[in-house]
Amino acid sequence: MGVDWYNMIARRNGGYKSNATFTVEGISSEDIFEEELIKLLAENRFVLDAGCGHGDFTLKMARFAESIIGFDNSIEMINIAESLLQESKINNVMFKYATTKEQLPFSDEQFDLIYDRRGPTSILNHSRILRSGGIVFGIHSGALDKVKERLHNNGFINIEISEYNEATVYFPNENEFAKFISGTPGNPDYTLAEYEEELKLKIEENLINGRLGMKEYRYIWKAIKP
């Protein structure tokens, strides 16, 4: 998986989002993350959205914040984000094309809060742009050990990590399921005929009491730069 995949998703789906129909049953960790983030935005002036995708969530959070900069390594995503920003008339958000694989184009200690909503966990390697006492806050679904390692190796303190798997995503039919999993990073387009056999196996693996669904596993982390 690389930036080409995200550029493809941006062109196909109009951003980093699912075009599938589904319902969520149970308490979603995404809602928990959003509620806690809104509280943090009220307490911190300068905010960075790491891996902002096509920017819709950044713009949603703008009304709770003084200033947010969102960056992403997909130029296609940033182009969509810029268009959405112009349409919104919001004036406290800026989008930048950048990658955590290089030095980020921000000043030392520029931000009070960095949040990462399923973006690059390698943002934790760029603690220089976070002020002393600043907060990193994120939600993700994979590589928990890597996140723990990065938090410790980069000197963060007061580390809090909570895991969630109570919610279930259900799909009305196989086609909507195929569209959903096709939007998971690195996956092929399971709606294509060439992946029909692989899709059948995926469907068999995700039957829950006769319903087509997937457990929503996420973990949320929060830490402070000393």
Tell me if 209 is assigned to some domain.
no
Return the closest-CA partner of residue 12 out of 20, 22, 1, 2. 20
Tell me if 124 is assigned to some domain.
yes
Q: Are strands 67-72 and 46-50 parallel, antiparallel or unpaired?
A: parallel
Tell me if 133 is assigned to some domain.
yes
| More confident of the two residues 4 and 171 | 171
Q: Which residues contact 115 (CB under 8 A, 6 or more apart)?
A: 37, 40, 47, 48, 49, 50, 136, 137, 138
Tell me if 185 is assigned to some domain.
no
For 38-78, how does the pLDDT look when each residue is reduced to its tens digit (9 = 90+)? 999 999 999 999 999 999 999 999 999 999 999 999 999 99
Query: Looking at residue 97, which CATH number applies to its domain?
Result: 3.40.50.150
Tell me if 188 is assigned to some domain.
no
Q: Which residues contact 117 (CB under 8 A, 6 or more apart)?
A: 33, 49, 51, 57, 138, 139
Question: pLDDT band for position 185 (50/70/90)?
Answer: confident
Please tell me the distance from the alpha carbon of residue 143 to that of residue 94, in angstroms, as a whole number: 29
pLDDT at position 7 over 80: no
Amino acid at 60: K
Tell me if 172 is assigned to some domain.
no
Contacts 24+ apart (CB under 8 A), 21-25: 21/171, 21/172, 21/176, 22/169, 22/170, 22/171, 22/172, 22/176, 22/180, 23/169, 23/170, 24/167, 24/168, 24/169, 24/170, 24/216, 25/167, 25/168, 25/170
Q: Which token pair is 52?
A: 């902002």
The total domain count for the chain is 1
Tell me if 29 is assigned to some domain.
yes
Residue 1's pLDDT is what?
55
Dihedral Cα 23, 64, 101, 161, nearest 10 deg: -60
Domain that holds residue 94: 3-167+214-224
Tell me if 78 is assigned to some domain.
yes
Please tell me the distance from the alpha carbon of residue 184 to that of residue 13, in angstroms, as a whole number: 12
Residue 184's pLDDT is what?
82
Question: pLDDT band for position 155 (50/70/90)?
Answer: very high
